Structure 1
Amino acid sequence: MQEPSGTTSAATSRAVLFESFGGPEALTVRDVPAPQAGPGQIRVRVTAAGLNPMDWFMTSDAETAARFGLSLPCGFGTDYAGVVDQVGAGVTGFAVGDRVFGGALSRAVADHVVVDAAGTIAAGGDAHHTPDGVDDRTAATLSIAGCTAAAALAVVKPGPGDTLLVGGAGGGVGVFAVQLARIAGARVIGTGSATSADALRALGAEPVAYGEGLVDRVRALAPGGVTAAVDLFGTDTAQAARDLGVPDARITTIAAQVDGITPTNGANAAPGTLEEIAGLVAEGRLRVPVAASFPMERIRDAAELQAGRHVHGKVVVDLQ
């Protein structure tokens, strides 16, 4: 059997694991056997891992984990960025030393991750070349949030002349949705807390407070009406959009289902989406605010902050 090319000397590496399902308190850092790239695979020395709500949702209990094909002991985190340090037999398009980013379902917060060179996030993991001009910390935030935002916008198709209402605009997916919609030419009104107003304006959105009275506040801000909506948090924004006269065909949700409204997720993103988003970042047309970063040893703090759902931007774990 052909051995993988690259570094093979490390016998162990660190990984964040769940030895029992639960919240951030169940996360531990362990030394584990260093994974090795097999045929069709590459191994990445991870330098940064971005966190998402799905990370802690998937591992909250055994029943939920089973729906995603996860069992104990289980890793944590999906988005990663780093450098290829092993290439398995038969792999083309990647070489040792290449900077890459991508997703590896519930195993990204680790010193090393092995992914299929031609895989998907959910099946074997995937990898994309990191463009020059995009640092690893930013690249580690792109996969889940970027694909989810792009998929949501593909449902409602915002463009010039549209006024798009974005629920949860300051969150990890929201920062992408707002900017991608603005790039498409739409006016964007984004819901958030009072403390998120300046952050939303910086992204190009007009802020509006969520909660009771949202419909009236949006009407005051956009007397000409709202033409499309994406709800990135629950169902309140979707319902408000209906009350504002937006047809169901131009409303979507990512975190809940509403009868008559098409839900979506990152798996629905079109091929090439991540390359396009990374290119926009490299060109300086899209920026990713990193709200906080933590070393691996503080993974519980990082997970608690992210799980609170009040972060304006992304939370990243540094593994350099």
Structure 2
Amino acid sequence: MLEYMTVTQAAEKWGISTRRVRLLCSEDKIKGVIREGRYYKIPVDTERPADGRRLRGKIIAKELAPLFLGIDRKKAELDRLRPFTEGELRRLRDDFMVDFTYNSNAIEGNTLTLRETAMVLEGMTIDQKPLKDHLEAVGHRDAFLYIEELAQHNKKLRETDIKNIHSLVLMDRPGDRGRYRRIPVTIMGAFTEPVQPYLIEPKISELLAENEKRRKTMHPIERIAHFHLEFEGIHPFIDGNGRAGRLLLNLDLIRCGYPPINVKFTDRRKYYDTFDTYYRDGNAESMIRLIGRYVDERLDKYIHIKTLDLER
């Protein structure tokens, strides 16, 4: 038999006011609700409806609204479960860092396996693997720790931050670390041609300024996707652009209160296709959905872990 809860019980469960629950019931925004006179009966297994007010003032494509509303609902749920203990944060960070380092480097051709990456980050040397692969793993780890530190300070992203992140990522190339490229490059098979070297600095400055303007008009996931697409299109460094770009993406996500995401090596074809779609067709939706899906999955994981800990 279907079980029901009262408006008051629903308000306590969802962390919103009873007035808001009644309004949602009256607007038929809660599935399965039954009205009996002045009272509402709400199915106990009904999820809290996404709060459309969170998108007010943002220009949201109709097709993307369900994605953003779902993410916002889960983020609100995670915020109610916070704070995490020091032990929980360390566990989440350490597990993610190994996985993220492996996948981000593998996308760019690093030959270390996931297990080998974990071993290298523990200080071991893998026989018959090049020094370059070892340094890339350590550099990426250090860059992730750096963005975690940056995320503690809610400041605008600076050109200096970008160069510092890249300097850590490219620790095996001392002559190129943190320096914009000085020669033209092409990206094999891509639908865009990176800007000429003399345009890199003004284009980065323009991108940073545009990113700040977009905070007022775009949902964070959409804004972050656009920044990532355009940063990679500028291709400011001779090497390490992808790794630096994915670290910048995670810096922004963390600052916005989302968990960091890990673009999987197994999804690399789908990931590359999002750039083609953007630069060929001018459509950022595939990148937005890719990032959104990863964020959604990470939110589920964080909520699940926190809920289990609270039940113990």
- TM-score of the two chains, using structure 2 as the length reference: 0.29
Higher helix proportion (structure 1 or 2): 2
Q: Which structure has the bigger radius of gyration?
A: 2
Higher strand proportion (structure 1 or 2): 1
- TM-score of the two chains, using structure 1 as the length reference: 0.28
